[in-house]
């Protein structure tokens, strides 16, 4: 590795010491990941770009004095860091290609780790990504990055408020491995539906079917039913028993929700959903 790059890493690690990402990782993992993304893009030989990537948050987020940076890394790197820091999405002022490439790598890593953001913040970031960064990656000819940003952001932005929220919340009933896939699939359906009424109807139907879908995904077909069946029947015979089983995970889900609004959505959507599932199971087991 280049000496200057190594110095940039040391300086960034020094100033970000003790800071944490939302994921709980040490903050320095973020600039390092951004530099790695740039290297993978083939910019590994551009020392200025890689150093600026490692240092891109030290002026904004730490007490690192600008003149120290300038003294050690020179004007080109420092000015690039300043340009990246002052980058505004909505002005038409000219932005250097390096700055745009760095911002894209920054955004890509943030989107890859967006699971740790509160839901609403993730949604805003996703919309901004689709509006600004996906076209920017396209302009710069970075097809692979464009597609990854597009997929990451599309999965998080949702076509419109309530339907999106309800669908993602309802998907909490599905097995973890299937959740993201169905949420993305349904959003793509929702995106195609023209009106609020249609979207609402589509969503309600989905929510009603959710317990059955969860069951279909968990036991693809004729799983051993005898013993499980008897236990389930016994549980379902009384409301008390049923809810004694369902309440703890529900409470856990609500307490674990990222924000108050998310918790509220969960409380509003899940119990009727579970209720519908229970009714359906009872009807089905009577047959």
Partner 1 sequence: MGDPRMTLQLQAVLEVFFADPAQARYGLELCEATALPSGTIYVILARLEGCGWVESAWEASADYDGSGRPRRRYYTITDKGRAAAPEAINRAYGKRRRPPPSWVPA
Residue 8 and residue 10: Cα distance in Å, rounded?
A: 5
3-class secondary structure, 109: helix
Out of 83, 182, 265, 270, point to the residue binding partner 1 (CB under 8 A).
Answer: 182
Please give the structure tokens belonging to residue 150: 């597009």
Residue 19 and residue 58: Cα distance in Å, rounded?
A: 11
User: Which residues are CB-neighbours of 235 under 8 A, at least 6 positions away?
Assistant: 241, 242, 245
| 91 lies in the site for partner 1, by CB under 8 A | no
Give 154 or 165: the residue with its C-beta nearer to partner 1: 154
Task: Considering only the stretches 101-109, 199-207, 233-241, 264-272, report the one whose residues sit in contact with partner 1 under the rule CB under 8 A.
Answer: 199-207
Out of 72, 76, 79, 189, point to the residue binding partner 1 (CB under 8 A).
Answer: 189
Give 46 or 131: the residue with its C-beta nearer to partner 1: 131
β-strand partners of 20: 26
Out of 113, 150, 235, 258, point to the residue binding partner 1 (CB under 8 A).
Answer: 150
User: Which residues are CB-neighbours of 95 under 8 A, at least 6 positions away?
Assistant: 83, 87
Give 60 or 147: the residue with its C-beta nearer to partner 1: 147
Query: Residue 3: how many CA atoms within 13 Å on its side-chain side?
Result: 2
List of E strands, 193-265: none
Residue-level length of the chain:
287
If you ran DSSP here, which 8-state letter would residue 120 be given?
A: H
Handedness of CA 110, 115, 118, 123 (dihedral sign): positive
3-class secondary structure, 26: strand
- Minimum CB–partner distance for residue 205 and partner 1 (Å): 4
Give 209 or 275: the residue with its C-beta nearer to partner 1: 209
| 279 lies in the site for partner 1, by CB under 8 A | no
Residues that contact partner 1, how many (by CB under 8 A):
37
Give 37 or 190: the residue with its C-beta nearer to partner 1: 190
Task: Considering only the stretches 16-24, 110-118, 197-205, 227-235, report the one whose residues sit in contact with partner 1 under the rule CB under 8 A.
Answer: 197-205
| 87 lies in the site for partner 1, by CB under 8 A | no
- Minimum CB–partner distance for residue 100 and partner 1 (Å): 17
Helices and strands counted in the chain (H then E): 15, 0
Residue 79 and residue 68: Cα distance in Å, rounded?
A: 13
Positions in 125-144 near partner 1 (CB under 8 A): 130, 134-135, 138
Task: Considering only the stretches 61-69, 114-122, 154-162, 232-240, report the one whose residues sit in contact with partner 1 under the rule CB under 8 A.
Answer: 154-162
Q: Which residues bind partner 1 (CB under 8 A)?
A: 130, 134-135, 138, 146-147, 150-151, 154-155, 157, 181-182, 184-189, 191-193, 202-203, 205-210, 212-213, 216-217, 220-222
């Amino acid at each position: 590795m280049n000496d200057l790059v190594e110095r940039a890493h040391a300086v960034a690690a020094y100033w970000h010491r003790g800071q944490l990402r939302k994921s709980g990782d040490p903050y320095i993992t973020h600039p390092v990941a951004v530099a790695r993304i740039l290297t993978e893009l083939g910019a590994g030989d551009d020392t200025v770009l890689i150093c600026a990537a490692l240092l891109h948050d030290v002026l904004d987020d730490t007490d690192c004095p600008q003149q120290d940076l300038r003294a050690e890394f020179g004007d080109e790197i420092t000015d690039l860091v300043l340009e990246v820091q002052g980058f505004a999405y909505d002005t038409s002022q000219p932005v250097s290609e390096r700055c745009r490439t760095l911002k894209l790598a920054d955004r890509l890593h943030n989107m890859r780790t967006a699971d740790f953001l509160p839901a609403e913040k993730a949604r805003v970031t996703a919309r901004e990504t689709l509006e600004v960064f996906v076209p920017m990656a396209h302009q710069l000819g970075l097809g692979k990055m464009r597609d990854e940003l597009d997929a990451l952001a599309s999965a998080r932005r949702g076509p419109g408020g309530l339907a999106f929220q309800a669908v993602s919340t309802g998907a909490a009933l599905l097995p973890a491995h299937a959740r993201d896939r169905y949420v993305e699939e349904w959003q793509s359906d929702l995106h195609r539906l023209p009106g609020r009424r249609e979207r609402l109807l589509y969503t309600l139907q989905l929510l009603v079917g959710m317990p059955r879908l969860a069951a279909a995904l968990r036991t693809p077909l004729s799983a051993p039913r005898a013993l499980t069946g008897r236990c389930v029947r016994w549980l379902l015979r009384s409301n008390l028993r049923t809810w004694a089983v369902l309440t703890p995970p529900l409470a856990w889900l609500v307490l674990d929700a990222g924000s108050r609004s998310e918790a509220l959505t969960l409380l509003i959507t899940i119990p009727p959903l579970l209720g519908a599932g229970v009714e359906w199971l009872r009807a089905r087991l009577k047959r």
